[in-house]
């Protein structure tokens, strides 16, 4: 079942209308999980950091020993061609994907030169309204380390763990989970990177190899610093987040999502969170 509507799929060198089949049952990606993807957004005629997202999907493929077959620049051109049929006011999720076709003699390792599947899916998915927010709780599931999983890639095989986190949080009546790294410090949420604000200073967990340091996360850091706000990447505990003045999530799907509660601690949607959102879209418009 698709998440969005008005789906278009790029496969085998051309655009197709609809959610067409792209992976075969014997493809390595179908049964051994060599699937990677990335996500960008088209909003009001803008596709912020599209080239960066296309470059990252190639790096993700390489991390899973899958050979990229399309340059980031070629991918950008394909995406814009596919977006031409969407109305400017339609918010679209842009998802380039790779997977290995063949395994080596063991089947487990993607076969060098064994072929690569490639597709791009465009789905109309609305942006969340500015009034939208979420709540957080703890989860017993943690982010893995490099020795356990391919945390240096945006890999589909990582997401069942995120799903367990989300399901646990929802069962407790919360919208998302604030997740620990292997050391027990805060890493991110189940779906996005996380920021907190204390006395006007923005703090965010330092990338330590347990979570993907997002493209949108980096953009917020750059924008806020250029605007004169101190942003510190550091080790943060759950107690630090309980003591925060504001918390917001940073992800490609909605860019900024305010947090109004972490377990029994309540927060207002504060001025820094609002400023981060404004700065992001001001930057996006300036780049068009």
- Classify residue 79: in a domain, yes or no: yes
- Domain with 268 in it: 134-286
pLDDT tens sequence across 209-253: 999 999 999 999 999 999 999 999 999 999 999 999 999 999 999
**H runs (alpha helix) in the chain:** 28-32, 50-63, 72-83, 159-171, 215-226, 238-242, 271-286
Q: Which of residues 83, 100, 124 is at a domain's end?
A: 124
Q: Are residues 42 and 167 in the same domain?
A: no
H/E run at residue 140: strand 134-142
CATH of the domain at 118: 3.30.470.10
- Confidence tier at 52 by pLDDT (50, 70, 90): very high
Per DSSP, 181 falls in state -
- Classify residue 69: in a domain, yes or no: yes
Q: Which of residues 76, 104, 124 is at a domain's end?
A: 124
Q: Are residues 145 and 279 in the same domain?
A: yes
Instruction: Calculate the dihedral angle through the C-alpha atoms of 56, 57, 58, 61, rounding to the nearest 10 degrees.
Output: 120
Residue indicated by tokens 């995120």: 162
Q: Are residues 153 and 66 in the same domain?
A: no
Pairing of strands 231-234, 201-205: parallel
Q: Are residues 143 and 102 in the same domain?
A: no
- Classify residue 170: in a domain, yes or no: yes
For position 287, what pLDDT does the model report?
A: 84
Q: Which of residues 99, 124, 149 is at a domain's end?
A: 124
pTM (predicted TM-score): 0.95
């Amino acid at each position: 079942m698709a998440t969005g509507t008005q789906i278009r799929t790029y496969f085998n060198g051309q655009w197709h209308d609809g959610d067409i089949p792209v992976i075969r049952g014997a493809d390595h990606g179908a049964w051994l999980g060599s699937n990677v993807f990335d996500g960008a957004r088209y909003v009001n005629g803008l596709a912020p950091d599209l080239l960066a997202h296309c470059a990252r999907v190639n790096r993700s493929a390489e991390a899973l020993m899958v050979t990229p077959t399309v340059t980031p620049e070629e991918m950008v051109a394909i995406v814009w061609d596919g977006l031409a049929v969407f109305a400017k006011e339609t918010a679209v999720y842009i998802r380039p994907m790779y997977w290995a076709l063949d395994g080596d003699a063991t089947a487990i390792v993607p076969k060098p030169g064994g072929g690569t599947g490639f597709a791009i899916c465009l789905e109309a998915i609305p942006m969340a309204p500015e009034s939208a927010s979420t709540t957080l709780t703890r989860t017993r599931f943690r982010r893995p380390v490099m020795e356990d999983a391919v945390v240096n890639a945006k890999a589909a095989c990582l997401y069942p763990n995120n799903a367990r986190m989300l399901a646990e949080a929802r069962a407790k009546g919360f919208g998302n989970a604030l997740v620990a790294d292997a050391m027990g410090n805060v890493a991110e949420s189940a779906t996005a990177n996380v920021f907190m604000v204390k006395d006007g200073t923005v703090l965010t967990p330092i990338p330590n190899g347990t979570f993907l340091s997002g493209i949108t996360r980096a953009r917020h850091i750059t924008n806020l610093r250029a605007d004169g706000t101190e942003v510190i990447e550091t080790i943060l505990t759950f107690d630090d987040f309980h003591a925060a003045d504001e918390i917001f999530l940073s992800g490609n799907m909605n860019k900024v999502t305010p947090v109004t509660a972490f377990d029994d601690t309540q927060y207002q949607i504060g001025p820094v969170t609002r400023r981060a959102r404004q700065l992001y879209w001001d930057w996006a418009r300036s780049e068009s």
